[in-house]
A and B are shown apart, each in its own frame.
Chain A
Amino acid sequence: MLLKKLTEAISVSSQETEVRDIIKEELADDVDQITTDALGNLIAYQPGDESKPTLMLAAHMDEIGLMITDITSDGLLSFKPIGSIDKRMLVSKKVVVGEDKVTGVIGAKAIHLQKPQERKKVLDYKKLYIDIGAKNKKQAKKAVNIGDMVGFTTQYQQLGDNTAKAKAVDDRVGCATLIQILKNNYDFPLYGVFTVQEEVGARGATAVSYDINPDLSLVLEGTTASDVPDSEEQSYSTTLGQGPALTMRDGAMIANKDLVQQIIEIADREEISYQFRKSTRAGTDGGTIHLTKEGIPTATISVPSRYIHSPASLINLNDFQNTIKLVDQFCQELATGGLSSCKIMM
């Protein structure tokens, strides 16, 4: 299963090889041209009627994780975060280190040995270590290197009829959506780009959109859902099961209004449920794509996900399917000329 394969692969920002290889293999028979660029972005191109707008669909391959920054004399590994992580979530987790996927655990001083005051404090990176079982620095160095990336090992699992648990759904749901779309044929120039380094500042997207300079771009993402206790409804941002989320504005981009309007009209017509992302914080690859060269009309469509940027997230599988459906309808519309770039350019 594609989503299982993609989410169980480990590709912390700047080390995207595992996911890139899966995607390359997955698309080998379906796409005319697959290339990579200097940063490691994977670019799939499906040519089509050049009188129609060139569309760039973008999904990022990378995920948040940790990086080994030191090895102690006890053979324990110090680390720092790659991307935005709630450090309170790290303790008592299993991880794998480096390309060889050396198993390690993030432990904590036993509760028995903590003073009551200590128990209330957040454990900072300086007090957290990865233990791979090495008894000293020499032994640890044989297995891992400073600079190795660290990922979580959560397995994909379906819970109930419609919910799936997985790590890195941000943004493997976007990758899975894009793969599905690239397997269809639309008669317009379509670039499917799988970007690198989104989690450390949308760096891959910056370079790739300059290179492609499309007429239009859609960013396919996984986004925060907080339809959970102790969160007021207005803070949910998105809700699981209510369909793909459309962004009007986030911390890095005000989406192109006409483009969003076109998507809404398509969704209404095709009776695909959708919702608006209510949070105005955070950003996606759209933040740099829409500012490329003289500017590119860009919108973001996301699959809502609870517990994003944590070792285990939940998504609603109907939301995922509806996202594919919505992007597919959008592409069909573009292919049949129902959606012109001038209409969208304001």
Chain B
Amino acid sequence: MNDNVEILKQLSETNGVSGHEKNITTQVEDILKEYTDEIKYDNLGNLIACKKGSEQDGPKVMFAAHMDEIGLMISDIEDEGFLRFTSVGGVDQRTLVGQEVTVLGQEELQGIIGAKPPHVQSANERRKAYKMDDMYIDLGLEAEEVKEKVRIGDVVTVKREFEELKNNRVTGKALDDRAGILVMLTALQELKNIDHKADLYTVATVQEEVGVRGATTSTYGIVPDIGIAIDVCHGTMPGVSSEDAAELGGGSAIGFGPHVHPKMFSKLKDIAEKNEIKYQVEPSHTPRGTDAFAIQVTRAGIPTALISIPLRYMHTSVETISMKDIKRSGKLLARFIRELNDEFVEGLQCF
């Protein structure tokens, strides 16, 4: 594994369910601090790492990638020690049965998600998908021990080792949006010895999966001139056409739609073309779905863009992306920062 793949592996395997981002925050701070001048946190826990530009009072640009992930939360502990649970964020309940999980109780505990066994199901039940209400977590421990170590409200993630696949593709949990964190890192690496006027705020946001909440407060605090959300978008696969998705390995997906400032869209596209960075356009008919939604309407409005990494099997534990797209996106964003000047920023107010 090369260094950035190794970093993504660590990010993917670290736990950080929305509202419980402490473990992942430590990881991200470690990664970003080498490339930034100042790190601070706001009241929600957003990690704000700033790399100063060469110009006093230069433009302020905010990159936002969310570090939280979807997960589960313990809702009840049965007498025999089995744990009932609910979801945090958009979880497809059909992807849960038979998963190994980590319960973040008083200590980290390993378990398995079980459901009513097939042999006690009626033929009719067997034809239906499993529902979360019918599932439980089995820690294989005595009930007493479970009750000592687990509380209602403890969060749970699927346990999944990150792996490299063929063709520079990788798979793991929470690549939505740890891939975005790696894009920010890649951009910072590209900018390391390069002069740029703008102050760059790389923000690892919290609570995106439960309603883009971290982006709401961090944008308010930073007051950027430009905000760029970095997230994942759906990748094409059988049953998912290119109308709804971008191609894995097909390049950085530049978002377009209500959530994107048209001049930002054009600028990013121009830079990609000029620098021969492979890209694709990702149109969206709704502003929803990423931190861009919150950034755009902060204070009196922020010119916003969205860069996405195509990803297959979103919100499962086997999310799959191409490392090439991460690299291209990082490069694209670095070139954008390098070229950015006051004139362009002022122009964003003129329609």
Residues of A within 8 A of B (CB): 72, 74, 76, 86, 88-89, 91-94, 102-114, 119-123, 127, 129, 131-135, 139-140, 143, 154, 157, 159-160, 163-165, 224, 226, 228-232, 235, 237, 279, 281-282, 306-307, 310-312, 314
Contacts and interface: CB of A to CB of B under 8 A. Distances in A.
Nearest to A129: B238
Given A76-B238, A165-B112, A160 B139 contact: yes
B111 interface: yes
A205 to B, nearest CB: 22
Given A108-B94, A131-B312, A229-B78, A92 B317 contact: yes
Interface of B: 78, 80, 82, 90-100, 109-112, 114-120, 126-130, 134, 136, 138-142, 145, 158, 160-161, 163-171, 234, 237-240, 244-245, 248-249, 289, 312-318, 320
Contacts of A132: 165-166
A228 B318 contact: no
A86 to B, nearest CB: 5
Those 9 A-B pairs whose CB atoms lie nearest each other, nearest first: A133-B165, A163-B140, A107-B313, A105-B318, A133-B169, A110-B314, A92-B95, A133-B166, A159-B140
24 contacts: A91-B95, A92-B317, A93-B98, A94-B171, A102-B166, A103-B171, A107-B313, A108-B92, A108-B313, A110-B92, A110-B240, A113-B245, A123-B129, A127-B238, A133-B167, A133-B320, A139-B167, A160-B145, A226-B117, A226-B119, A229-B78, A231-B116, A281-B119, A282-B119
A123 B99 CA distance: 16
Nearest to A120: B129
A224 B97 CA distance: 17
A88 B163 contact: no
A165 B140 contact: yes
A160 B142 contact: yes
A105 B164 CA distance: 11
Nearest to B82: A229
A225 B239 CA distance: 37
B145 A307 contact: no
Contacts of A108: 92, 94-95, 313, 316
Contacts of B145: 160
A119 B129 contact: yes
B112 A307 contact: yes
A129 B236 CA distance: 13
B117 A105 contact: no
A266 B315 CA distance: 53
A312 B134 CA distance: 18
Given A92-B316, A160-B145, A113 B234 contact: yes
A148 to B, nearest CB: 14
B255 to A, nearest CB: 15
Interface centre among A76, A154, A231 (most CB of B within 10 A): A231
A230 B110 contact: no
Nearest to B99: A92
A301 B95 CA distance: 34
Nearest to B321: A133
A139 B166 contact: yes
A111 B165 contact: no
Nearest to B166: A133
B171 A105 contact: yes
B140 A107 contact: no
A37 to B, nearest CB: 33
A306 B120 CA distance: 13
Interface centre among B127, B165, B320 (most CB of A within 10 A): B165
B211 to A, nearest CB: 15
Given A113-B234, A139-B166, A139-B167, A307 B119 contact: no
A92 B234 CA distance: 16
B313 A228 contact: no
Given A224-B117, A279-B119, A310 B163 contact: no
B316 A107 contact: yes
A135 B234 CA distance: 16
A120 B128 contact: yes
Nearest to B83: A229
B148 to A, nearest CB: 12
A92 B313 contact: yes
Nearest to B311: A110
A71 B318 CA distance: 20
